[in-house]
Amino acid sequence: MKNLQIPIKKPKIFGWLLNLYGKENTSEINRELPFAALLFTLLSASGVTIYDSWKKLCNVNLLPNFQKEAKEIVRQVEVLGYDPLTVMYKRANKTKSKNYREFLLGYVSSVRSGGSIVNYLKSKLRSIFEVQSASAIRSIERLGTLVEAYAVMLIVTLCSYILFIVFATTSVFEPMKMSGTPGVSTEIVCVLIFFVTPIISIIFMIIAHTERKSNLVNVNQPYYATIIPLIAVSAFIAALYFMPQLAFLTSPDIFPLVTTLCLLAISLPPTVVYMRISKVNNDAENSMPNFLRDVTEARKIGLSPEKSIIHATKRSGYGKFSDTLNLIRSQMEWGVSLRKVFVNIKRKIQTWHVLVNFLILVETIKIGGGSAAALEILTDYSEKQKDVETNKKSLLRPYVILAFIWSVLIALTTTMVAMAVYALTNISLPGATASVPLGVMQLQVNLFSIGIILQCWLSGFFVGKVNEGTFAAGFKYSVMLVITAYVSLLLSQNLLGGMYSAVSR
């Protein structure tokens, strides 16, 4: 009997994951391409060949995808003996990024035709930044659609809450129960509030993570600041469960406040840490183009690159970024090399754009002497990059306001409908009597209140990712949304407090 070889087909999920990885890699290449092209342009303007520029990229950790690409190109040239142009042509045919492919093919064609490499790189660099600006607008449109879809999800959740409230507080649907239709239990409500809705929010966060990239790198301090508060809150919750003396804190009137305070205790310490980091890095991002402009203008009047940098650091009005510039000036006056200065800058600044611009400035000065023409190119495109980021932030800002709107609406509408339905059923509808006592009704309302507060806390991380590109910013928005939700719940319950008293009589 012959051995039969049955072909094993790979599950489609593996192909989907590979395609997803390919798309993410392409997006990262497109994100790094403007800065890699800028480095190529500046080094070419300083007389450095393209192959030496690739070798230089092998040591640039801030551009990890191009660092990997540079190592592969250098390997094929030095180990396999291929010509650099041939290797670049092959890499162009293999890459999935259209922009990167056009960049490589255009460079190869320019060299082979004998054209000006610097002029081609300048022209291509201008085109790349224009494409990047248009891509940023399209990305914001996709994020806007995602936020709108998230708002629709919250509206559907709100409708579900109201439907469960009607089932739980009246006997209008008693004939359905008598006919065998299952009623609404507390277990179903808990699954909806504490499992289904949070899972949907997490799915939206994952989608937002693929669409929105952060300009901050290695921002781990806010997450570390969460550890101790999280342990303390977990211990407090365990104490509520095991210590009867604290049982009064789980009463329907108090437990929403306890939940709010626990979530605030978790979010406030990382919020303080993140806001300090954000202040320093925002000032650096806003001030970097002005700093480069001062360096360029000082270089034009004949100062050396090092003296131009020292001169630019003396300018005031940089905010928290002035501390970093004072450190740069003191180190350079003591004779510290530019590369060591850059290493120290990386300990102070975590904004990716600022670090890349500093890196390109250092490499331009160390290799090409930092000519005024090269610095002018760097400054121009740093200013354009700032304009793109400023425009992106201004377009994303309205979505923060939308988050507060949906938090208020969910809190107000759910509790007001709950109390109104319960009260009107006992006052105005003779055929529909109350199916639960007032105490059980209050328990249901407070159960929904806890779910609303938790949902607003999770929404803060979604908004933080969409607006600022990092989940660390979500702690700040979670604090504000949780407070907004709790205040809205208090207002709604106080506004219809008379209905409770009417029902109790």
User: pLDDT higher for 54 or 244?
Assistant: 54
Question: Quick check: 415 pLDDT over 70?
Answer: yes
With tokens 């109104």, the residue in question is 420
User: pLDDT higher for 44 or 199?
Assistant: 199
Q: What pLDDT does 22 receive?
A: 41
- Confidence bin at 503 (pLDDT 50/70/90): very low
Per-residue pLDDT reduced to its tens digit, 83-94: 888 888 888 888
Q: Residue 3 has what DSSP assignment?
A: P
Token reading at 417: 């409908």
- Are the C-beta atoms of residues 492 and 451 closer than 8 Å to each other? no
- Confidence bin at 123 (pLDDT 50/70/90): confident
Q: Which of 434, 468, 37, 409 is nearest to 214 (CA)?
A: 468
User: What is the DSSP annotation of 171-218?
Assistant: STTHHHHHTT-----HHHHHHIIIIIHHHHHHHHHHHHHHH---SB-S
- Confidence bin at 272 (pLDDT 50/70/90): very high
Q: What pLDDT does 212 receive?
A: 84
Q: Residue 336 has what DSSP assignment?
A: -
For the chain, what is the total number of helices (H) and then of strands (E)?
19, 0
| % pLDDT > 90, the chain | 9
pTM here is 0.80
Q: Which of 380, 378, 388 is nearest to 41 (CA)?
A: 378
Question: Quick check: 429 pLDDT over 50?
Answer: no
Q: What pLDDT does 440 receive?
A: 60
Nearest-angstrom CA–CA distance, 329 and 331: 6
Q: What pLDDT does 171 receive?
A: 53
Q: What is the rounded average pLDDT for all residues in the chain?
A: 79
Mean pLDDT across the stretch 241-258? 79
User: What is the DSSP annotation of 392-434?
Assistant: HHHHHHHHHHHHHHHHHHHHHHHHHHHHHHHHHHHHT-TT--B
Nearest-angstrom CA–CA distance, 75 and 316: 47
